[in-house]
Amino acid sequence: MTAILRILLRRIALLVPLLLGIVLFVFLVMRFSDVDPASAFFQGANPTPEQLHRFREENGLLDPLPVRYVDFVGDLLHGDMGISVLTRSEVVDQVTTALPLTMQLTFLGLGIAVVVSLLLGVTAAIYRDRLPDQIVRVVSLTGVAAPGFWLALLMIQYLAVDLGWFPTGGYINPNDSFTGWLRTMTLPALALSLPVAAQMTRIIRTAVVEELDKDYVRTAVGSGLPPVVVVGRNVLRNALINPLTVLGLRVGYLLGGAVVIETIFSLPGMGKLMIDAVKNGDPAVVQGVVITTAVGFVVVNLVIDILYLLVNPRLRGTS
């Protein structure tokens, strides 16, 4: 347990420079972009040069970049992401309103991807080189090749428009109607998760096949243990260590893919918020969304690292 705590503290310590680097990268990209916060603030008006200069001076836009970066980090530590130049509201308020929906979509998609990939991957490994394995290979290759936005459009056309099983878009809060929430989130979650499920299926199949060929599995089956017990109790526990690491990287894909999926299904999440901010020239909202998404990705990968430590006995014995 001491080794796990030591490794965990080391990983957390590494997050500090990583997060500062992410914030620095976003800060520099936004500062050297073509979007001028002063011009965006007076969008639709004809400000005088004096008004533009006064706005830049009042908001610290004329300070040297190092000073502006330090002020920016200090504001972030106090929960201040700036003011939207279009709505004149706090960016943090817009982010906290949109974030729950994106988290719902991401983790619902993650759950679907894990369940589907486990079922297909383990089935393909158990029946390797036989018909079920061949079918799973074709399905997984198709899923890997199919972009999420293309799947989303197909689902809208056939499952929503033609069959009417699901709405074509929109969002219903689960507190208002859980059934309505599930109907509005099913197609976006499927479109987001199926490419990830296809990738994870191939990885899980390979890991389980390698584990099934080991001596301890043949010994356990030869001693009379049912194959289902051996696979469920021993094989999966050992085989899923490497796929668990890969899963952490796929969470980043889910978070990034939510931008497109939310736009297609008109979901008022982080993706749609950022797309609208980019189209309308609202730099404070763009950088707030990007930083929040990046921090979320880092935190999720930290959780994956913790799970990896818990399921990998070899790491628990390291110092």
Tokens in use for 273? 């918020």
- Looking at residues 18-39, what average pLDDT do you find? 77
pLDDT, tens digit, 9 for 90 and up, residues 90-148: 888 888 888 888 888 888 888 898 899 888 988 888 888 888 888 988 988 888 888 87
pTM of the predicted protein model: 0.77
Residue bearing the bigger pLDDT, 197 or 62: 197
Residue 312: the pLDDT is: 62
Other beta carbons less than 10 A from residue 60's beta carbon: 11
Collapse the DSSP code of 56 into the 3-class scheme (helix H, G, I; strand E, B; otherwise coil) and give the result: helix
d(CA 5, CA 319): 10
Give domain 99-311's CATH number out of 1.10.10.10, 3.30.70.100, 1.10.3720.10, 2.40.160.20.
Answer: 1.10.3720.10
pLDDT at 171 over 50: yes
Other beta carbons less than 10 A from residue 240's beta carbon: 22
d(CA 136, CA 208): 14
Residue 270 contacts residue 171 (beta carbons within 8 Å): no
Other beta carbons less than 10 A from residue 295's beta carbon: 16
Provide the CB-side half-sphere exposure for 20 (13 A, CA).
Answer: 8
Closest CA to 209 of 133, 313, 315: 133
Collapse the DSSP code of 48 into the 3-class scheme (helix H, G, I; strand E, B; otherwise coil) and give the result: coil
pLDDT at 319 over 50: no
Closest CA to 285 of 62, 18, 40, 43: 40
Residue 298: the pLDDT is: 81
d(CA 204, CA 238): 11
Domain boundaries, the chain: 99-311
Residue 236: the pLDDT is: 74
For residue 235, with 0-12 CB atoms within 10 Å meaning exposed, 13-18 middle and 19 or more buried, which class applies?
Answer: buried
d(CA 58, CA 173): 40
Q: List the beta bridge partners of residue 83.
A: 90
Closest CA to 184 of 96, 270, 275, 264: 264
Residue bearing the bigger pLDDT, 201 or 79: 201
- Looking at residues 186-206, what average pLDDT do you find? 88
pLDDT at 33 over 80: no
Residue with tokens 């080991």: 214
Residue 3: the pLDDT is: 61
Q: Work out the mean pLDDT of the chain and round it to a whole number.
A: 80
- Looking at residues 284-312, what average pLDDT do you find? 78
d(CA 79, CA 90): 10
- Looking at residues 290-306, what average pLDDT do you find? 80
Angle at 105 (CA atoms; ends 180, 302), nearest 5 degrees: 145
Residue with tokens 């109907």: 183
Q: How many residues are given for the chain? A: 319
Residue bearing the bigger pLDDT, 236 or 96: 96
What pLDDT band is residue 314 in, cutting at 50, 70 and 90?
A: low
d(CA 299, CA 265): 27
Residue 217 CB contacts under 8 Å (≥ 6 apart), including other chains: 211, 230, 234, 235
Tokens in use for 261? 């999926």
Other beta carbons less than 10 A from residue 64's beta carbon: 8
pLDDT at 318 over 80: no
pLDDT, tens digit, 9 for 90 and up, residues 88-100: 788 888 888 888 8
Per-residue burial over 122-136, b = 16 or more CB atoms within 10 Å of its CB, e = otherwise: bbbbbebeeeebeeb
d(CA 152, CA 260): 10
Residue 200 contacts residue 114 (beta carbons within 8 Å): yes
